[in-house]
Amino acid sequence: MDIFLQLLASGLLLGGIYVLVSVGLTLVFGVMKIVNFAHGDFLMLGMFGAFFLFQLLGVHPYVSMFIMALLLFALGIVFYKLIVGRTIGRPHVVQIFAFIGLSVALQNLALVLFSADFRGINMPLSSAVISLGPIHIGVPLLVAFLIAAVITVLLFLFLHYTYVGKAIRAASQDRFSATLMGVSNSKIYMLTFAIGIGLLGVAGSLLIPIYSVYPTVGEQFALIAFVVVVLGGLGSLPGAVIGGLLIGVIETLSSYFIAPSMKQLVYFTVFILILILRPNGLLGRPGDAEEAV
């Protein structure tokens, strides 16, 4: 029983990281109806930024997450004006190639600037563990889980109880009607994309004490983020939370009871079975999948 509780706790904490990486992706899709194939590469930039802030300036990752959130928020605005905004309303193939091209460009830029070396932060916090009876919890995972929970709640409150948040929701539900009510869809899209990228600045800072960073590190997280978002329901924030926690628990349990090499097979099998029963995901709305790129 102790082993099961330990695995369950570890799975939920791992799922918290997946939620943190996925909320920006589902927010961008829910409002803009585009799939950001460069999502993982912006996470990579967030991790590199936190790494160099720590190595060069001694800024703790839990402090640098505020800096990286602002920097990636600004970067999101720049990329929206240069690339993303020009794909809105264009054929899906234009959006696909634009984001894949952006992904390749960011990876190769990181490869040229930082090389392919694996880089990590060596600090006592990385290996710190607290014990709750028979359950042992890694401090970096616990902090990432708690911050992911806080960010998700704040994002929910922002979307439901602020004027801008209500405008974002209006644009996601009916662009034409939102325009008639005075909402500028282009500004809402730019803000939404910047928020989605800014959240990756927070995620990158929280992940750097746990994972090494290298130019293609975003691929492993992007794949899981897409599974989480589709499983939870495209554009559904609560769905991303449930999907992230579910994938984290499945991955941890299957790694222990079956084999670590089989974990992806197991959660992809569960993913497919759920989509067969619920094609729109756990909390997705009918028709959202058809709007995806």
H or E stretch at 175: helix 175-180
Residues contacting residue 282 through CB under 8 Å, at least 6 positions apart: 231, 232, 233, 236, 239, 242, 243, 274
User: What's the pLDDT score for residue 288?
Assistant: 57
- Measured CA distances, 265 to 251, 257, 270 (Å): 9, 13, 9
Classify residue 132: in a domain, yes or no.
no
Residues whose CB falls within 8 Å of the CB of residue 56, separated by 6 or more in sequence, listed in order: none
On whether residue 126 sits in a domain, the answer given is: no
CB neighbours of residue 226 within 10 Å: 18
Q: How confident is the model at residue 287 (pLDDT cuts 50, 70, 90)?
A: low
Cβ neighbours of residue 290 closer than 8 Å, sequence gap 6 or more: none
Q: What is the pLDDT of residue 292?
A: 45
- Domain-located, residue 60: yes
| Average pLDDT value for the chain | 86
pLDDT of residue 104 exceeding 90, the answer is yes
Q: Is 39 part of any domain? A: yes
pLDDT digits (tens, 9 = 90+) for 175-191: 778 888 888 888 899 99
pLDDT at 89: 79
The CATH number linked to 24 is: 1.10.3470
* CA-to-CA separations, 66 to 17, 71, 72, 202, in angstroms, rounded: 17, 9, 10, 7
pLDDT value of position 201: 92
Tell me, yes or no, whether 122 lies in a domain.
no
Model pLDDT, residue 122? 80
Check residue 272 and give its pLDDT. Answer: 87
- Assess if residue 287 is contained within a domain: no
Domain membership of residue 291 (yes or no) is: no
SS3 132: strand
The maximal CA–CA distance of the chain, rounded, in angstroms, is 58
Q: Is 119 exposed, middle or buried (0-12, 13-18, 19+ CB in 10 A)?
A: middle
Average pLDDT for residues 58-83, to the nearest whole number?
93
For the chain, what is the total number of helices (H) and then of strands (E)?
Answer: 13, 2
Structure tokens of 205? Answer: 């800072």
Sort 1 into a burial class: Cβ within 10 Å, 0-12 / 13-18 / 19+: exposed
Q: Indicate whether 237 pLDDT > 50.
A: yes
pLDDT at 277: 86
User: What mean pLDDT comes out for the span 55-65?
Assistant: 91
Task: Residue count of the chain, please give it.
Answer: 293
Most confident of 129-133, 158-162, 280-284: 158-162
Top-confidence range, 32-41, 59-68, 162-171, 226-235: 59-68
User: How many angstroms separate the CA atoms of 177 and 286, rounded?
Assistant: 20
What average pLDDT does the segment 150-157 reach? Answer: 90
The structure tokens 């439901």 sit at 160
Query: Does residue 124 lie within any of the structural domains?
Result: no
Q: Could you tell me the residue range of the domain that residue 238 belongs to?
A: 1-115+137-277
pLDDT recorded at residue 286: 65
Task: Tell me: pLDDT of 3 over 70.
Answer: yes
Q: What is the total count of domains within the chain?
A: 1
Structure tokens, 173: 């539900």
User: Which pair of structure tokens corresponds to residue 244?
Assistant: 């992230």
The percent of residues in the chain predicted with pLDDT above 70, rounded, is 97
How is residue 285 annotated by DSSP?
A: P
